[in-house]
Amino acid sequence: MNDLETLSGAPVHPAARRMETDFNAGRMDRRSFLRALSWLGVAVGGASLMPDLAHAQATPKDGGTLRFACQIQEITDPMMSQWIEASNLYRNSLEFLTWVDADNIVRPYLAKAWTPSEDLTFWDFELDERATWSNGDAFTPEDVIFNINRWIAPDSQSSNKTAFAAISGMEKTGDHSVRITLSRPVASLPEQLYSYTCAMVHRDFTGNWPENPVGTGPFALQVIEVGRRAVFTKRPDYWGTPAHLDEIQYIDLGPDVTTHLAALSSGQVDLIYRATIAEYDLMQSLPNIQILSGKSANTVVMRMQVDQAPFDDIRVRKAIQLAANNQQMLDIAYRGKGTIASNYHVSPVQADYFPLPAMARDVEQAKALLAEAGHADGLAIELTLGNTQGKWEQDTAQVLQQNLAEAGIQVKLNVLPATQYWPIWNKVPFGLTYWAHRPLGSMTMDLAYRSGGSWNESHFASPEFDAALDKAMALVDPEARKAAMEDVERILQDSAVMVQAFWSEPMTAAAQNVQGFVLHPSDYYRMDSIWLS
């Protein structure tokens, strides 16, 4: 018997009771169970949803300065972030309504409880009454309404506009409570609120956060110099559990991870943002560092804009998929340190993953399709990429280039510096884009493939797909949701929108004395749990 209880004290959602039956009957694993419960604001035995920040084996030690090698870009408005690096800077001072740790379970943060209606179309969020801004103001429902209104405003440029398109109304229901109304059921709403663009800014926010860095978070911004450094210090008056570190110094060491590792190895920094497969052997050979790695749904997508010639012909797109050797891309460009994928951008690590049969490589069929599409004597295309995560992006593209050559497709690689790729990532007809992990496949689908979505870089538009996605997103039960994702994935795979060859394992490195650090699959670094021994 499980002791189900809600965070708010409200009655337990009926879906939670149904899942409990399935779980007790052994039809559902504990993790999926806890996770789906957390969406509904339900905990087992009360304790499982409580923040577990310490990850503690030893007693954390307070004090000290952590030096973090990370590129420092301009930050202005958290909802506009395109780089996770930037969102990690905000994360020190700005908080989210919910918090999703590496285990994918949604935990209370600024919201201490949430209760959905039975049909999942309105949600009551109860805010933590202790939460206060660094300027002394209380964190109120007005703040929540102000933020969400900005996200979904008609002229909003934020990716949140697509992610929260279902929100149809908001209402203050008490001093510390707010009700969000949806036009269609979305089960994972609490989980989506921890997306990196969802940091809560003060209701007086005017568009440039560093100018007036008010936040509810455990650290205060002291300095930010683009391309150079950023400094955050611990706030003694933080409303929650105070951070361990006195200060965090972000140091921009340029784009080259080898330099980051050199600095780590010689004790100039304590933590680096991310390493890539190219540095794998180098990391192994350094004695004084700890390597952190994990599984995630990070990937690169070589997507084709379905309304641009020659990619407006599905036979061409299919031929490209058939000629691509996904296994070889994984083995060579990422040296096998990842999981093979099959061109539909939902990952086995995502809770709603439904495994489709892998696509087999067939160069002859690819040639036949090309001939049918009128490209019998070959086809010349250009692939644009920016090595935003490292040279392995280019390596992946080069393997694809070789693969496609076998089918008579000549690919020209247009390699741009990372900073020049981001401004055009959704503009180029054939581009290689890095997609970070999302805890749910449906979240990626919603952002990247829903008709007219703000981050829909492939211009893929299918009412059938949208409907299937709506259906899946409304389901709480993990098994039912998985089953519903089958259609979503199949439509996408059949439409041949992209070559998506593998899921890359994230890895990074830290000095030996950095404690309490867990690699988050989305590279979301919450710094208040970290301490130095």
Partner 1 sequence: MTLGSFLLRKTAVAILTMLTVSFLIFLAFEVNVADVAVKVLGQYSTPDQRTAWLAENGYYDPFVIRYLRWLGGFVTGDWGLSTFFRVPITSIVFPRLGASALLAGGALLVIVVFGLGLGILAGMRAGSLLDRVISVFSVITTSIPDFASAVFLSGIFVFWLGLLPGASTMISGFSLRELILPVLVLGLYSMGYLARITRASMVEVMGTHYIRTARLKGANPARIVLRHAMRNALITPVTVIMLQLPWLLSGVIVIEVFYAYKGFGSLLYDAALNQDIYLVEACAMVSVLVVVLSQILSDLIYGWLNPRISLGAKA
Partner 2 sequence: MKILLPYLKKPLVVIGVALSGGWLLVAFLAPILAPYDPLETLQPLARPMATGADGQLFVLGTDMLGRDILSRLIWGARTVVIYSTLATLTAYAFGMLFGLIAGYMGGRIDAALSFAANVVLSFPVLVLYIVIIVLIGASPLNIVIAVTFSSAPAIFRIVRGITMDVASRDYVAAAITQGESTWRILLVDILPNTTGPLAVDFCLRLGYTAITIGTLGFLGLGLPPPTPDWGGMVNEGRAMAIAFPHLVIFPCIAISSLTLGLSLLADGLREVNEAKERQA
Which residues contact partner 1 by CB under 8 A?
74, 157, 225-229, 249, 251-254, 256, 259-263, 265-269, 282, 285-286, 417, 419-420, 423-424, 427
Q: Say which entry of partner 1, partner 2, none residue 225 contacts (CB below 5 to 8 A, set by partner kind).
A: partner 1
Amino acid making up residue 308: Q
398 scored as a contact of partner 2 (CB under 8 A): yes
We find the least distance from the C-beta atom of residue 286 to partner 1, in angstroms, to be 7
- 170 touching partner 2, by CB under 8 A: no
Q: Which helix (H) or strand (E) element contains residue 161? A: helix 160-163
Q: Is residue 293 a contact residue for partner 2 (CB under 8 A)?
A: no
531, 533, 532: which is closest to 243 by C-alpha? 531
Smallest gap from Cβ 517 to partner 1, in A, equals: 21
From the list 253, 264, 399, 445, which residue makes contact with partner 2 (rule: CB under 8 A)? 399
- Nearest to partner 1 of 21, 266 (CB atom): 266
| Near partner 2 by CB under 8 A: residue from 229, 335, 361, 471 | 335
**321 Cβ contact partners less than 8 Å away, ≥ 6 residues apart:** 343, 359, 496, 499
Q: Which stretch binds partner 2 (CB under 8 A): 104-112, 113-121, 328-336, 424-432?
A: 328-336
Select from partner 1, partner 2, none the partner in contact with residue 333, using the beta carbon and a kind-dependent cut-off of 5 to 8 Å.
partner 2
* Residue 45 binding target from partner 1, partner 2, none, CB below 5 to 8 Å by type: none
Counting contacts by CB under 8 A, is residue 402 touching partner 2?
A: yes
CB of 227 to partner 1, least distance (A): 6
Smallest gap from residue 334 Cβ to partner 1 (A)? 23
Q: Does 371 bind partner 2 (CB under 8 A)?
A: no
Q: Which does 402 bind (CB under 5 to 8 A by kind): partner 2, partner 1, none?
A: partner 2
The span from the CA of 300 to the CA of 432, in Å, is 6
150 versus 229: smaller Cβ distance to partner 1: 229
Name which position in 76, 117, 268, 414 contacts partner 2 (CB under 8 A).
Answer: 414
Nearer to partner 1, 421 or 503 (CB): 421
Decide which of partner 2, partner 1, none touches 16; Cβ closer than 5 to 8 Å per partner kind. Answer: none
Distances (CA, A) of 71 to 143, 299, 320, 463: 30, 20, 35, 40
Please name the helix (run of DSSP H) or strand (run of DSSP E) that holds residue 221, with its range, or none.
strand 219-225
Measured distance CA(505)–CA(476) in Å, rounded: 28
Contact (CB, 8 A) for 497 and 490: no
Question: Should residue 417 be labelled a site residue for partner 2 when binding is judged by CB under 8 A?
Answer: yes
- The dihedrals phi and psi of 454, each to the nearest 5 degrees, come to -70, -30
Distance in Å from the first CA to the final CA of the chain: 41
Give the distance between the most distant pair of CA atoms in the chain. Answer: 70
Q: In this complex, which beta carbon is closest to partner 1, that of residue 258 or of residue 401? A: 258
Q: Which is nearer to partner 2, 231 or 340 (CB)?
A: 340
| Minimum distance from residue 407 beta carbon to partner 2 (Å) | 15
Phi, then psi, of 215 in degrees rounded to 5: -155, 170
User: From the CB of 459, what's the least distance to partner 1, in Å?
Assistant: 17
For the four alpha carbons of 332, 333, 335 and 339, in that order, the dihedral sign comes to: negative
What is the smallest separation between the CB atom of 470 and partner 2, expressed in angstroms? Answer: 42
CA atoms within 13 A on the CB side of 522: 26
Nearest-5° angle of CA 231, CA 104, CA 233?
15
- When asked if residue 391 is in the footprint of partner 2 (CB under 8 A), the reply is yes
Overall size of the chain counted in residues: 533
Residue count, binding to partner 2 (CB under 8 A): 27
Task: Tell the smallest beta-carbon distance from residue 70 to partner 2 (Å).
Answer: 18
Answer for which of 54, 102, 291, 332 binds partner 2 (CB under 8 A) is 332
At closest approach, how far in Å is the CB of 251 from partner 1? 5
| Lookup: tokens for 477 | 């039960």
Asked if 476 interacts with partner 2 (CB under 8 A), we say no
Amino acid at 456: N
Render 72-91 in DSSP notation, one character per residue.
Answer: ------GGG--SHHHHHHHH
279, interface contact from partner 2, partner 1, none, CB < 5-8 Å by kind: partner 2
The least distance separating partner 2 from the CB of residue 278, rounded to whole angstroms, comes to: 4
Per partner kind, with CB cut-offs from 5 to 8 A, the member of partner 2, partner 1, none near residue 130 is: none
Applying the rule CB under 8 A, the residues between 264 and 283 that interact with partner 2 are 276, 278-279, 281-282
- DSSP string spanning 41-78? TEEETTTTTS--TT--SS------EEEEE--------G
How far is residue 32's CA from residue 18's CA, in Å, rounded to a whole number? 14
Q: Which residues are 224's β-sheet partners?
A: 230
From the CB of residue 354, how many other CB atoms can be counted at a distance below 10 Å?
20
* Secondary structure string (H, E, C) spanning 224-240: EECCCEEEEEECCCCCC
Q: 184 is in the binding site of which of partner 2, partner 1, none (Cβ under 5 to 8 A by kind)?
A: none
Closest listed residue to residue 111, CA positions, set 138, 129, 134, 87: 129
Residues of this chain that interact with partner 2 (CB under 8 A) are: 256-258, 276, 278-279, 281-282, 284-285, 328, 331-333, 335, 391, 394-395, 398-399, 401-402, 412-415, 417
